Structure 1
Amino acid sequence: MRLTFEYEPDDPRQSGFIAALKERYARFIDNDHPDIVVVVGGDGAMLRALHRRTPPPDQPARPIRFLGVGRGNLNFLMNPSSVADQLAELDPAAMPCHRVHPLWVQANGELIGAAYNDVVIGAGVADCHQFHLDSTDGEFEGYELRGTGVCVATPLGSTAFNANNRGVVLPLDVPLLSVTGIVSNRDLSEIFAGSDLSIRFASRRGVTVFLDAHKTRHLDCSGVVRIRRDETRWMELTFVNDGEFSRRRIDLLKGKRK
């Protein structure tokens, strides 16, 4: 099995741990053609690793398998840190994995990046914007909304901000998105089965587009943000104990219903 390691270089908690792992598993390391990318840290480290290894949509891509070693503040997408002691024994072919598809995001016709968790369009909680949602399949057609923002979440990201925003927690392996309004005049919480959603906005102060909680682009006054789910490419998240990860999601859903 071939491994490569990724982590956040500016996180001092990981440097010594990573150095020890690289020494311990030196004979397995292949940075150019790994079977598994081992991500050390928390959920943020995992999302940033996914982004770093996602080529633009006009370039060829192949699925890459990621395994998280949880040593961050939030480890929902990660395996327990004890997995670091088992890396030499893992069989990639026998490990269950979940496909995660990117959302490509355009702002006024320009590609601004990809998201694996969610796309949030808005600004401060005191601001109010006008939104119009349209989709190519007609599921949204001139849907009008006034509020702080709109969140579009993938199945992977539906347990994050989307869940706190009273959105639907989606099963991981379904081609669906969860769409919610943020502090809005309409109770928008919909499951979207399409793959192409356009959100027009009008705002006195403009809006900011956040991709996976990263402030990506500020847009002035009015414009269009297009979100497209890419069915043709994906990354793979793997868990040593897949049942434990599923229980985590179920427990979150149960807590949300209380």
Structure 2
Amino acid sequence: MKIALIASDFGDAPEAAKRLREKYNIVNTDEADVIVALGGDGHMLQTLHTFMQRRIPIYGMNRGTVGFLMNEYSEDRLEERIQTADPFTLHPLRMLVTTCDDRTVQYMAVNEVSLLRETRQAAKICISIDGKVRIPELVGDGLLVATPAGSTAYNLSAHGPIVPLGADLLTLTPLSAFRPRRWRGALLPHTVSVELDVITPQKRPVSAVADMHEVRDVRKVVIEEAREINLNLLFDREHNLAERIFTEQFVH
């Protein structure tokens, strides 16, 4: 097994990477069979984006803070842990943005795509699903579309539902909605196309964010699951991602 190591520049990750390089035969990423990501969830997201087209398995070890997408850190039995880990395949969201100056920009998101007001004025957004208008005017701070893997991140903080892995659902969650007051979001089949049109974008500017990639002054955003892209994560059997997401529903 040829292992590559990608470590965060922050916290305990650099020192941990140094010790692992001394203990194991670490290769370059272009030679590797698997990548070990050292850091927190943000570093894991960055690693997934960097190697999105490679389909190479990624095994994360937590040297950050939350580490929801990471395994526990240990310097022992690394090769054995990787070989016995449970694989899980994630499909990212594709965000296609049209800006106010008619530029077209595309980014991928592992966790969520969010639309956020840029100024003190509330955003006004028309929500269409598969070409049918469902909410003509959402007024508030914005909204987000999250994958099951991302449902425990920003989506959960915004009081959106937790979605178990394998449920083939996406969450559509408003952010501080003023109108309609009683709308708390929706669960959507993962096959849908979500179209978000910003109403009066020059007067009420909105930015669109796919994980860590932001586009400002957007006019229209189309969000779909990129089924052709497979992100392969590895998790220790006693601490797999599906179980962690399921367990989050019972945290009090």
Q: Which residue type is aligned with residue 100 of structure 1?
A: L
Q: How many residues align?
A: 242
**For 2:29, what is the secondary structure of its paired residue?**
coil
User: 1:245 offset after TM fit, Å?
Assistant: 4.0
* Match in the other structure for 1:135: 129
**For 2:162, what is the secondary structure of its paired residue?**
coil
**For 2:121, what is the secondary structure of its paired residue?**
coil
In angstroms, what is the RMSD of aligned CA positions?
2.2
Classify 1:67/1:125 alpha carbon distance in 2 versus 1 (closer, same or farther; 3 Å).
Answer: farther
Q: Which residue type is aligned with residue 238 of structure 1?
A: L
Verify: 1:198 aligned to 2:195, yes or no: yes
Q: TM-score by structure 1 length?
A: 0.85
CA displacement 1:21-47 (0-9 Å, x = unmatched): 122111x53521422211000000000
Matches of 1:19 and 1:88, distance apart in 2 = 17
2:92 to 74, 87, 102: 102
Structure 2 residues without counterparts, runs of 5 or longer: none
* Match in the other structure for 2:107: 113
User: 1:244 offset after TM fit, Å?
Assistant: 5.3
* Match in the other structure for 1:17: 16
CA displacement 1:197-239 (0-9 Å, x = unmatched): 1100124241111222x2511115xx10111211111111111
Contact kept, 8 Å, 1:131 with 1:200, in 2: the verdict is yes
Matches of 2:90 and 2:97, distance apart in 1 = 22
CA displacement 1:55-95 (0-9 Å, x = unmatched): xxxxxx4522111100101211111112x322122354x43
Q: Which residue type is aligned with residue 68 of structure 2?
A: F
* Match in the other structure for 2:234: 238
**For 1:78, what is the secondary structure of its paired residue?**
coil
User: 1:14 offset after TM fit, Å?
Assistant: 1.9
* Match in the other structure for 2:65: 73
Q: TM-score by structure 2 length?
A: 0.86
CA displacement 1:103-144 (0-9 Å, x = unmatched): 111111623311000111013695311111112274x54543
Matches of 1:22 and 1:40, distance apart in 2 = 12
**For 1:159, what is the secondary structure of its paired residue?**
coil
Q: Percent identity?
A: 25
Structure 1 residues without counterparts, runs of 5 or longer: 55-60
Q: Which residue type is aligned with residue 85 of structure 1?
A: D
Q: Which residue type is aligned with residue 195 of structure 1?
A: V
Contact kept, 8 Å, 2:119 with 2:204, in 1: the verdict is no
Alignment of 1:108-257 (within 5 A): 108=98, 110-123=104-117, 126-136=120-130, 138=132, 141=134, 143-184=136-177, 185-186=179-180, 187-193=183-189, 194-202=191-199, 203=201, 204-212=203-211, 214=212, 216-219=214-217, 223-243=219-239, 245-255=241-251
Classify 1:157/1:125 alpha carbon distance in 2 versus 1 (closer, same or farther; 3 Å).
Answer: farther
**Segment drifting more, 129-138 vs 179-188:** 129-138
Q: Which residue type is aligned with residue 13 of structure 2?
A: Q
* Match in the other structure for 1:58: none
Verify: 1:32 aligned to 2:34, yes or no: no
User: 1:170 offset after TM fit, Å?
Assistant: 0.8
